[in-house]
Amino acid sequence: MARGTLYLKGKQAVKDKKVATAIEEWHEQDDTMGHRKLAALLKTGKNRVKRVMKKYGIQARRKKKRSVYPGKASSIVPNALRDPQTPAETEVMFSDIFAHPVGGSHESTRLLCALEADTPLPVAGV
């Protein structure tokens, strides 16, 4: 066995440290980037970036998934804005329905917000 193989030092650890510092610099700006986007930014291979991130414990923060209403409404309320019998003095300029999840379950509280011309900001819960 040659003596050179016994004293051979790998160069990969030095390269990995440079890649790790570059990854950490990008993570300070945006911590949601994964190994593919970082590899494109650093102009290096995605497998190297993935290996270095795993080695140094760097993880991309996952974005929250948007919640989607999982079914049909239990009761349908008629739209009072489109009712022809609504008096003209309460003219509505803006209306919207907000659904807010309660207690981490799929059930949610729905609020109807309507802005009338006469009053500053009326809010009615449905």
The first and second tokens of residue 84, run together, are: 């022809």
Fold assignment, 9-56: Arc Repressor Mutant, subunit A (1.10.10)
Q: Where are the domains of the chain?
A: 9-56, 80-125
Round to whole Å and give the CA distance between 124 and 126: 7
- Give the pLDDT score at 62: 86
- Give the pLDDT score at 1: 79
* Per-residue pLDDT tens digits for 65-101: 777 666 676 777 777 666 666 555 556 556 666 666 6
Higher pLDDT, 90 or 54: 54
Q: Which residue has the tokens 């990854």?
A: 23
Report the predicted TM-score, pTM, of the whole model to 2 decimal places: 0.48
* Per-residue pLDDT tens digits for 7-38: 878 888 889 999 999 999 999 998 899 999 99
How much is the average pLDDT of 28-50? 93
Report the candidate in 94, 123, 92, 91 with the shortest Cα–Cα distance to residue 110.
123
Neighbouring residues of 53: CB distance < 8 A, sequence distance ≥ 6: 23, 35, 38, 59, 60
